[in-house]
Amino acid sequence: MTTWVEPEGGRERGPVGLAKSFTQVLVNPRTFFEEAVSPGDQAPGLVFGMAVVLVEESTRMAVVPGAALEFPTAPWLAAALTVSLAVLLVTPAAIHALSALETLALVVFAPERGGVSETVQVLAYAAAPCAFVGVSVPLVTVVCGLWAFGLLVLGTSVVHDLSLPRAFAAAVVPGVLAFGSGFGWFAATAELVGVVAPALAL
């Protein structure tokens, strides 16, 4: 029989747990970060981050022609391989690397900070809005990127007991790299500016 509830932290595992975490972090993020982030228990956060990328990349493969990496194989298999690489290799490596950057900043801004595991979880859960980025609509990407960055700052503040300005300072570099570059917030902003600026000049 499958056990959905983990005794430590009380977070449900599996698809039901992922769905609840996704809803809670978007609707009530402060409470979610207070209750769901547990010391030394980063596995659910990593799985959550990988699920976000799975949805985002699968959507992108479906709506953007030629989005898949080039492999000497059928287009559908190339798309599946692209998604698999993004989810299984790139995402865990990126989350840990970006969490290490934030941990270095927290050494300065939060002497009484939580551990690296908590930072991994905050970064992964903050990416929730980016599940919608795969539709490849610039305005959606910009909104989701800003939303995710806001969640990262809030989560950093709650989990590491920091003021929002200090949390912003600690989160700005990993947040910019993750959501600005990784999920395309910068490129989408530039595209929007390129469309809006000429229209305003008329």
In a domain, 137, yes or no: yes
Q: Is residue 7 part of a domain?
A: no
H-helix or E-strand spanning residue 151: helix 138-159
Question: What residues contact residue 8 under an 8 Å CB cut-off, 6+ apart?
Answer: 38, 41
The answer to whether residue 100 is domain-embedded is yes
Smallest CA-to-CA distance from 52 within 63, 64, 40, 44 is with: 44
Q: Which range of residues forms the domain containing residue 67?
A: 14-201
- pLDDT by 10s per residue, the chain, length 202: 333 334 344 466 788 889 999 999 999 999 999 999 988 888 999 999 999 999 999 999 999 988 899 889 999 999 999 999 999 999 999 999 999 999 999 988 877 777 889 999 999 999 999 999 999 999 999 999 999 999 999 999 999 999 999 999 999 999 999 999 999 989 999 988 876 656 556 5
Domain count, the chain: 1
34 in a structural domain: yes
d(CA 65, CA 43): 33
Q: Are 131 and 58 a contacting pair, CB within 8 Å?
A: no
CB 125 within 8 A of CB 32: yes
The verdict on residue 98 lying in a domain is yes
Residue 2 domain-assigned? no
Q: Is residue 9 part of a domain?
A: no
pTM for the full predicted model: 0.89
